[in-house]
Structure 1
Amino acid sequence: MDKIRILLADDNSFIREGMKIILNTYEEFDVVATVNDGQEAVDYCLQMDVDIALLDVRMPNMNGVEATKKLSEATETKPVILTTFDDDDYILDAIRNGAKGYLLKNTDPERIRDAIKGVYNGNTVMQDVVLDKLKINLKTKEADHEAPFDTTLFTARELEIMELIAKGLSNKAMSKQLFISEGTVANYITSILGKTGLEHRTQIAIYYLKGAVEKTE
C-alpha cells in the first residue's frame, strides 16, 4: 500500500519536529517535508506530490487559512488545520476556504492518525469540540451574503445530504448509509449548490450548521 505523504507546517520547531516523530511511527505515513510557514507549504506542494498538509493557523509570511485557500485552488493536497481554542475566526475562514479537517494540537496521536486517514479517504474530519466552538462562533456572527437558510428550498433528501456533509461523511459513506448510488449523492450535492449559490461541500457544511444554530435560537 502506498504511504500517505504528509507535509507539516508550523513555526514552532518543537511542535513541528515532535509531530514528525509521532507520525513517522505509523507505517502508513511518510512525512515528506516540514516547513516554517504557509508560503513554504504552498511552494512545496506546488512542486511535489503531497496528500495531506497539516497546517498551523498562526504562522509568519502566510498563515494556515491563506495557505488552505491556495492549496485548495492550485493543488491536489488536502489541507488540515491544527488549531487552538483561541483561533475561532481562523477556523471558520479555513472551512470556507476548503479545509478538510480541523484538529486541536492537544489531540491524542491515535485520533490524529484516524483523522488524517479519514481525510485521505475523502471525509471531512471535525472534532466535536471544534464543532461546538464553531456553533458558538456562528451565533455571534452577522449573516453572510448567501441566501438565508430556508428548509422549504430543499427536499427532505437534500436536507439529509446536507446534515451528513456537516458530519463529515464522504459521498461513498453517504451512499451506503442512504442506500443510493454515489452518482445520486453527487446529483443532490449539485442541486444544493445550485439552490444556495455555494461553491463546495465545506461551504454546505457551514451553511447547514448556521441554519441548525438559528433554528435552536
Structure 2
Amino acid sequence: MSIRLVIADDDALIRDSLRIILSYDKEIEVVEVFENGKDLVDFLLDNEVDVALVDIRMPLVNGVKATLEVSKNTKTKVIILTTFDEDEYIREGIKNGAKGYLLKNTKPEKIIETIKLVNKGIAVIQEEVLTKLSNNIISVKNNNQIDTSLFTERELEVMLAISEGLNNKEISKKLFISEGTVKNYITSILQKTNLTHRTQIAIYYIKNLES
C-alpha cells in the first residue's frame, strides 16, 4: 500500500515541484496540495492521510500551528520544511508533534527517504537543522521539565550531547568516556524512555525543555 501524502506550501513553485518529484516514487501517492495551513488542517480532519509535508510560513494558519492541530486530532505524521532563518520555530514545531524536520534545499532522495522513515514511526531531524537548533538549547541542569530522577547525571549529559547533534565518537571525546560506554548509555536511555532511535532522544530532550 502506498504512503498517502499531502503537501502544504504557499510557494506555488515549491509546492508543484514537490508534487511532481515525489509522485515519481511508486511508494508515495500525493493526495492533495495546499497553499495555506487552514486548508491543510480542514482536509486532514476529514481524510485519512499518512504523512504531511508542511512549510512553516503560510497564510491563515502557519505550519507550526497546523502541526499542533494535525497532531492532536489526526493520525497524520507531520514533516516540517524549514530554512536556516526559521530556527526559532523548530522547538515549537517539535513540541507541537512534528515527526520530521528538513531544510527546503534537501535533495529529493533524502526527502523521499525521510517520508518513508517517518511513516514507519521513526522521527527524523536533518543533521544541519539539529546543529542549528543546538545553538539555542538550554542545559538540562537549568530550568527543565524532564524528570531527572529517571536518569543518571551521565545519561543526562549524553542526552544533551545527542541533542547538540554529536555522534558517538564526538560524545566520547566531550565526556572523556569510551564509545562503547556511550552506546551503553544510549541503550539505557532508550529503554527508560521507550524510544527506539537516537534522533527520538534529541526530540524527547528538546520537547521537554521549557520555552
What amino acid maps onto 1:188 in structure 2? Answer: K
In structure 2, what is the Cα distance between the partners aligned to 1:100 and 1:64?
13
Task: Find out whether 1:69 has 2:73 as its counterpart.
Answer: no
> What percentage of residue pairs aligned between the two structures are identical?
44
Query: SS of 2:25's equivalent?
Result: coil
Which piece of structure 1 moves more, 124-133 or 153-162?
Answer: 153-162
User: Quick one: which amino acid aligns to residue 24 of structure 2?
Assistant: T
Amino acid at match of 1:205: Y
CA distance in 1, matches of 2:33, 2:153: 45
Q: Tell me: CA distance 1:139–1:157, structure 2 relative to 1, closer, same or farther (3 Å).
A: closer
Aligned to 1:35: 34
Q: Tell me by how many angstroms 1:92 deviates.
A: 1.4
Match of 1:102 in 2: 101
Residue in 2 that maps onto 1:154:
151
Aligned residues: 182
1:6 shift after superposition = 0.4
C-alpha change, 1:136 and 1:128, in structure 2 (3 Å) is same
The Cα offsets for residues 83-113 of structure 1, whole Å up to 9 and x where unpaired, read as: 1100011111101111000001110100011
What letter corresponds to residue 151 of structure 2 in structure 1?
A: F
What is the deviation of 1:137? 2.2
1:157 deviation in Å?
Answer: 11
Distance (Å, rounded) in 2 between the aligned partners of 1:202 and 1:67: 22
Q: Tell me, what secondary structure is at the counterpart of 2:110?
A: helix
The 5-angstrom pairing of residues 1-217 of structure 1 reads: 2-138=1-137, 146=145, 150=148, 153-155=150-152, 188-189=192-193, 204-206=204-206
Residues in 2 aligned to 1:202 and 1:70: alpha-carbon distance in whole angstroms: 23
Report the Cα distance in structure 1 between the residues aligned to 2:60 and 2:205, rounded to whole angstroms: 29
Secondary structure of 1:59 counterpart: coil
Over 3 Å counting, the alpha-carbon distance change for 1:106 and 1:186 in structure 2 is: closer
Question: Which runs of 5 or more structure 1 residues have no equivalent in the other structure?
Answer: 168-176, 179-183, 191-199, 211-217
Structure 2 unaligned regions, length at least 5: 166-182, 195-199
Say which SS state the counterpart of residue 43 (structure 1) adopts: helix
DSSP-derived class of the 1:87 partner: helix
Structure 2 Cα separation of the partners of residues 16 and 132 of structure 1: 26
The root-mean-square deviation of aligned C-alpha atoms, in Å, is: 3.4
TM-score after normalising by structure 2:
0.74
For 1:4 and 1:67, the matched residues in 2 are separated by 20
